[in-house]
A and B are shown apart, each in its own frame.
Chain A
Amino acid sequence: MRQLFNQLISFPYFFKIAQISFPYLFLLSISVILLGVLWGVFFSPVDVTQGEVYRIIYLHVPAASVAQSIYYTMVIASVTYLIWRIKMASVFMISMAPLGAIFTFLALFTGAVWGQSTWGTWWVWDARLTSTLILLILYLAIISLFSSFDRRASTDQAVSIVVLIGGINLPIIKLSVEWWNTLHQSASITLSGSSIDNEMLIPLLISILGFYLYVTAIGMRRMQVEILKREISHNWVKRIF
């Protein structure tokens, strides 16, 4: 176990693994997303109250879920970096932050389209929407940190400090925003059960799985690029190309 971990955090080894597994993972993720979304759009029943438009759920929920999960994994990576100085953790953070921003934006966008037809407005200042918007701002702030230092190690350290503080603060922000205002329907899927009918739930879960696979694949690719940027002068890179 420990040996496997040590191998995974070494740049050359990870690069090799990612190089081999990327095409399969990417194709798998695309096909799972297509399966979930197409099933959801064409074969699952129509929602009684919301009509056909609810089908955007098959993009909205996975995107929102992925957007938050990326942040939490980044928090874990930041702790890992700050304590053990594992360079792979900072590579992970720096590669994932733009992905997180994109998915947060996607979640906000699909949510706006959905809100337009069910609530009648593109945007409401509701707790969840607001905290997602803040998440987006946080991602953008982290991304803007990337270029504000001359030395690699400083950037890594600064990014992980901000990610960590943001991670501690995010639940507080969410809670305070919730006291401030709430209109969004509460989460329909929890660990204890689901208020969604099975016929809609299964394609939704497949779609969520697909999004996670997609993020894993693209994230690995981005990490490879980041590793190449850092290690460009090393021998093992020259041997590959």
Chain B
Amino acid sequence: MYLSRSSSFLGPIVFFLITITLYPLAFGSDEEQLAELASGIIWISILLANLLSHQFIFNEDYKDGSLDLVLASGKSLFVWASIKIFVNWYFSSLPLIFLSLVTSFMLYLPLDAALILALTLFLGTPILSMFGALAGALTLERGNIVGSSIVIPMCLPALILGILAIQSYKNEEVFFYIFLLAAFLFFSIPILIASCLGAIRLHFE
């Protein structure tokens, strides 16, 4: 489904590239300055690009009725929702992680920092996807700004921890932040998916 509808697949990628291009144009192409800002730029762009895709996670199935079938079939909604979220992450976030490696060179980020960046994104983007899924599930009937205003404040810990890890890539502290980020990820998996189910069910009561 993601591949067949190129807009949902390519949308975040194009958006991400455009945003990354905008920052040097706005802040100037000074090498040191860009290297300093790079981690923040990439994280913010990914956060924003994620907002584009979250309404697609459940919306399609809701509209064409497959969601009713899943509910009626008595199969585990939990598994179904987890798979949907994973597929969404696979197609909208994973390409961005690889792209971020490329763009980090364009923004003069050192290689070590770029690898840490990719690692933090690897741990952080599932969190964004799950919050996005929650927002998407809440606003199934109409995708609107409400979803984004819920997602962004909730995702802040991921953003902060990710950027702190990248900034301290030279010393030992980096592991502290990465472990915390991983802890946040594993902590939020059951809670967020469970609340997604609650949010989906409220459209069928």
Contact = CB atoms under 8 A, between A and B. Distances in A.
Interface stretch (B60-68, B70-78, B111-119, B197-205): B197-205
B153 A173 contact: yes
Interface in A145-189: 145, 148-150, 153-154, 157-158, 161-162, 164-166, 168-169, 172-173, 175-177, 179-180
Nearest to A144: B146
Contacts of A154: 202-203, 205
B198 A177 contact: no
Nearest to B201: A157
A157 B139 CA distance: 12
B202 A157 contact: yes
Contact of B198 (A153, A157, A166): A157
Interface string B145-156: 110011011101
Contacts of A176: 156-157, 160-161, 180
A161 B157 contact: no
A35 interface: no
B23 interface: no
B141 A150 contact: yes
A173 B205 CA distance: 33
27 contacts: A138-B153, A141-B146, A144-B145, A145-B150, A148-B141, A148-B146, A153-B205, A154-B203, A157-B199, A158-B199, A161-B138, A161-B195, A161-B198, A162-B150, A165-B134, A165-B195, A166-B153, A168-B191, A173-B153, A173-B154, A173-B156, A176-B157, A176-B160, A177-B156, A177-B160, A179-B160, A180-B164
A161 B199 contact: yes
Interface in A64-115: 82
A140 interface: yes
Most buried by B among A134, A138, A149, A169: A169
Query: What secondary structure prevails in chain B residues at the interface with A?
Result: helix
B157 A169 contact: yes
A116 B150 CA distance: 31
A38 interface: no
A137 B145 CA distance: 13
Contacts of A179: 160, 164
Contacts of A137: 149, 152-153
Interface of A: 82, 134, 137-138, 140-141, 144-145, 148-150, 153-154, 157-158, 161-162, 164-166, 168-169, 172-173, 175-177, 179-180
Nearest to A140: B149
Given A141-B146, A148-B144, A153-B202, A165 B191 contact: yes
Given A137-B149, A158-B199, A162-B150, A172 B138 contact: no
Contacts of A180: 160, 164
B56 interface: no
Contacts of B184: 172
B48 to A, nearest CB: 16
6 smallest beta-carbon distances between A and B, as pairs: A176-B157, A141-B149, A157-B202, A176-B160, A141-B150, A172-B157
Contacts of B202: 153-154, 157-158
A154 B154 CA distance: 21
A188 to B, nearest CB: 26
Given A161-B134, A166-B154, 12 more contacts: A134-B153, A141-B149, A145-B146, A153-B202, A154-B203, A162-B150, A164-B195, A165-B154, A165-B192, A169-B157, A176-B157, A180-B160
